[in-house]
Chains A and B, each alone.
Chain A
Amino acid sequence: MQYTLLILVLPLLSFIVLGLVDSKWKPKVAGTIGTVVLGIITALSYLTAWEYFTTAKINGVYEKIIPMHMEWIRFTEFLHIDLGILLDPISVMMLVVITTVSFMVNIYSLSYMHGEKGFQRYYAFLSLFTFSMLGLVVATNIFQMYIFWELVGVSSFLLIGFYYTKPSAVAAAKKAFIVTRFADLFFLLGILVLSFYTKTFDFGILTAEHTTVFAGSAGATFLGFGVISWAMAGIFIGGAGKSAMFPLQIWLPDAMEGPTPVSALIHAATMVVAGVFLVARFFPVYYFQTPEVLHGVAYIGAFTALFAAVIACVQTDIKRVLAFSTISQIAFMMVALGVSGYEGHEGTGFMASMFHLFTHAMFKALLFLGAGSVIHAVHSNEIKDMGGLRKYMPITNWTFLIACLAIAGIPPFSGFFSKDEILSASYEFSPYIGGIMTFVAALTAFYMFRLYYSIFWGKDYTVKAAAHGHDDHGHGHTPHESPFAMAFPLVFLATVTCFAGFIPFGKLVSSTGADYIIHIDSTVAIMSVVIASISILVATLMYRKPSATPDKLEKTFKGLHTAASRRFYIDEVYLFITKKIIFNSVSRPLAWFDRHIIDATMDGFANTTQWVSVRIKGVQSGQVQQYAYVFLLGTLLIAALVFFI
């Protein structure tokens, strides 16, 4: 399967070409090139997936295939950085997810970004992102993964800051980059510690079932935990940074400053699940070597899921609601990995996590693209500027509804199947985690339908447009359905969302590579569907027609509401720690020391030299005879010294 290399090379070429010619080509040409390249690699990914899942089974287990491999840098006899392509069930699945969503976003952007300044640049960055993300998932070793991991981070930075004239977008881009980079520091430390003790970067060796590379680290402990535990925890922190786990989730809501298709691609479907993918990639190591870290993943995931779901209930910016929903859903995947066992039925969590990753990528991209379509129509992100849009935007309405039902976990939409597996895996691990996750699922259904009704139902749109729309934006026109290029991705993703649940996912992706038969646990399934339905019902009662109930509730729980809408003051805590504590007690004294001690010493040398040279420059008078006179005196003096001493 040599052609898989093309999947990486084509978007890179597209990035280089589009980036170099920039505005010399017409926007249409750039958009076409980007989209066509994505179309080709999407087709190639499907071909790869088809070929892989039909042929690669040996003894009932999907083998790892490495179609390309080369040594890049050799450090020691054992330690070398390689570049290559690794195909196994999860990376092939990721190829399909990434290229599909990216392709849809490329088509969507043709219309959504039409007429934007920097349209060509936008497509160049999209290609760069797709290239980096694909490189990340097919990495054969952890160092290659780290390289692409950083590339993904930088392309996310570039795309969030796409509207670089807007200060809030620039700030958001910086925030995203710094927070994820801070987490990546731990990732790098984890990699270094891990490779120091195991003498290898290679996934194949690290994640083999009966691997011996960890023997060298036996007994090596640090602060009461084994060094491998520290390394794996560091690697998880790197993943938590990219996947916006608590307390590193602060960058994701702000990242919504980027163009909406970018949010759909990077901050909903692909990049933010990189952390989940990382944990899944290292799953055997976590499970066999450091189960305590894996349980930590589960607890952090459960807390993040709850935390983000509560905040999502009170946000008023539709993209922020979706952002917190994304955090919550990724946390679901993390929980599933954390509670998973390894073989057979025990491995439900792993399979469910990957399944949810797949379905979530589709319906969350759909939600974001739908939100983009709404924003395109009403020119606002705020819920208060919307309402009653179902009459004007039927396609967006229906596709958004499908996605909402999917994320709420209503059968037969895809979210039901994956979420149900996660819930049953959680209940098997611990009833408490299961209970929390069920509660979060209920909250999810509630806030998604709050969002849905607020956008498409509720108060009538035209009334508000007359009162508010004209003077505010100068767009007094009635909202209209989006053009074909935007509607097509919506319909496509909605179709996938309808049917993805019936993919025999367990047969394709599982922790060991062996078949896993999904059987729906009827108790859990019925319970979760009932709870989700109740939540939807509550949301319907509260938001379908304009009613006073939400305001009343808001007044009753004023403290909680304010805290949640301010995101529980986590940002303020960060600002306090950085600005007040670190800046004041560390950075400022250090800056003072630098300026007044180190710089001053150097300035002192320069000033002394200058002072001396000003003083002695009179000696050089330009009078030749004076020089000769001094020379003569000197000669005589030396002669005298030679003779008399």
Chain B
Amino acid sequence: MDILNNILAGQVPMELYLGVSLIMFFAGVYGFLSRRSMLMILISIELMLNAADLNFVTFNRYLFPGQLEGFYFALFTIAIAACETAVAIAIIINIYRNLSSVEVGNLDQMKE
């Protein structure tokens, strides 16, 4: 009940943020391992990155109030994630042109 009261009073405890982040991260991991489409895998990776961003922001807000490093790192991560997505989409498009498919299970030609 305390937690609910706190929330209603505008005081959200840190564990809740971390819990959301945890759920997001493992949702991403599950997606990465189980989806067949490369686009879905890419989205799963974004989900994991966002979970990490959330952690940065949370820790900065609760543990080091008045400082900005965590926020900046979150911004960096977003920028890098954007770049990474651009590269990944380019790769996926090329794979699609060559194989007419984005199924990750088909991409095992380079194992030998």
A625 engages B32 (CB within 8 Å): yes
- What is the distance, in angstroms, from A615's C-beta to the closest C-beta of chain B? 15
Q: Is B111 an interface residue (CB 8 A)?
A: yes
Query: Residue A25 at the B interface, CB < 8 A?
Result: no
**Binding site of B, secondary structure by majority: helix, strand, loop or mixed?**
helix
Question: Using a CB-CB cutoff of 8 Å, which residues 45-78 of chain B contact chain A?
Answer: none
The answer, yes or no, to whether B8 is at the interface (CB within 8 Å) is: no
Residues of B within 8 Å of A632, CB to CB, are 29, 33
Is B104's beta carbon under 8 Å from chain A? yes
Specify which of B29, B107, B109, B112 is in contact with A624 (CB 8 Å cutoff). Answer: B107
Question: What A residues does B108 contact at CB under 8 A?
Answer: 621-623
C-alpha spacing A620/B107, complex, angstroms? 13
Q: What's the tally of chain B residues with a CB closer than 8 Å to chain A?
A: 13
Determine the distance from Cα of A553 to Cα of B29 in the docked complex, in whole angstroms. 110
B105 at the interface (CB under 8 A from A): yes
Distance (Å) between the CB of B103 and the closest chain A CB?
11
Does B110 interact with chain A (Cβ within 8 Å)?
Answer: yes
Q: How far does the alpha carbon of A565 sit from the alpha carbon of B34 in the complex, in Å?
A: 95
Least CB separation from B29: chain A residue: A632
Please name all residues of chain A whose beta carbon is closer than 8 Å to the beta carbon of B104 when the two chains form the complex: 623-625
Partner of A628, one of B33, B107, B110, B111: B33
Contacts of A623 in B (CB 8 A): 104-105, 108
Task: Check B107–A622 contact: CB distance below 8 A.
Answer: yes
SS of A interface (majority): helix
Least Cβ–Cβ distance between B45 and chain A, in angstroms: 10
Interchain CA distance A624-B107 in the complex, whole Å: 8
| CA distance in complex: A334, B100 (Å) | 93
Instruction: Determine whether the beta carbon of B111 is less than 8 Å from that of A621.
Output: yes
Which A residues are CB-close (under 8 A) to B112? 617
Q: In the complex, A632→B44 CA distance in Å?
A: 15
Nearest CB in chain A: distance from B111 CB, A? 3
* Alpha-carbon distance between A471 and B39 when the two chains are bound, in angstroms: 94
The verdict on A72 contacting chain B, using a C-beta distance below 8 Å, is no
Query: A629 CA to B41 CA in the complex, in Å?
Result: 13
Contacts of A617 in B (CB 8 A): 112
Contact in complex: A625, B33 (CB < 8 Å): yes
Q: How far is the CB of B39 from chain A (nearest CB, A)?
A: 14
* Residues of B bordering A, CB below 8 Å: 29, 32-34, 41, 104-105, 107-112
A-B contact pairs, 14 of them (CB 8 A): A621-B108, A621-B111, A622-B107, A622-B110, A622-B111, A623-B104, A624-B104, A624-B107, A625-B32, A625-B33, A625-B34, A625-B104, A625-B105, A632-B33
A620-B111, A621-B111, A623-B104 known; 8 new pairs, CB 8 Å cut-off, are A621-B108, A622-B107, A622-B109, A623-B108, A625-B32, A625-B105, A632-B29, A632-B33
- The 4 lowest CB-CB distance pairs between A and B, nearest first, are A622-B108, A622-B111, A620-B111, A625-B33
